[in-house]
Amino acid sequence: MRLTTKGRFAVTAMLDLAMNANHHAVKLNAISERQNISLSYLEQLFSKLRRAGLVESIRGPGGGYILGKPLDEINIAQIIEAAEDQLDATVCKGKANCQSGAPCLTHHLWENLNYAIYDYLSGVTLASLLAEMPPEPHSQVVKFTHIHV
C-alpha cells in the first residue's frame, strides 16, 4: 500500500471535519490552522473528497464543508482511495507483470498485504475513530509524582 502525505492528510482533515462539524460547515482555513496543513493542499484534497461523495461544499456566508455521509458510513479506505486513487503495495500496480511480464517472486505476498490492509482500513470508520479518542486530547497533562534518577 502506498500511503503518502495525501492519504495521511486526507484522513487527518476528515477526522478534524468530523470533530468540528457540530451541525455547521467547517472552513478549510480552520482545518489548515488546527492541523498545520497548507490551505492550497487542503483545497486539492477536498476537491477529490467531494468528487468521491465524502464531503459536500456549502457556499456563501457560513459556508465550508460538511460530511457527505454519516460518520459510520465513511471508512478510512474510502478516504485514502479518494485522495490517492489506489491502495497498492505491489510494484506492478496489481498487473502481475513485475518481472519481464510475469509476476515477481513476491507478487502474491504484496497482493495479499493489499487485501489485508484494505480489509482493516475498510473496517475503521470516522465514527469508530472518534469513539476511541480521549475527550480533550490537547488538555491531557502528564503528572510525575515520584521520579527516581
| CATH number of residue 65's parent domain | 1.10.10.10
Write down the residue that cell numbers 478534524 correspond to: 16
CA 131 vs CA 15, 142, 143: distances in Å: 11, 22, 25
Is the model's pLDDT at 147 over the cut of 60?
no
Which residues constitute the domain of residue 60? Answer: 5-87+124-139
**pLDDT tens digits, residue range 9-50?**
999 999 999 999 887 899 999 999 999 999 999 999 999 999
Q: Indicate whether 113 belongs to any domain.
A: no
- All three cell numbers of 149, joined, read 534518577
Q: Indicate whether 57 belongs to any domain.
A: yes
Write down the residue that cell numbers 461523495 correspond to: 53
Phi, psi dihedral angles at 75 (to 5 degrees)? -105, 165
Q: Quote the pLDDT of residue 85.
A: 64
Q: Indicate whether 133 belongs to any domain.
A: yes
pTM for this one? 0.80
Q: Indicate whether 50 belongs to any domain.
A: yes
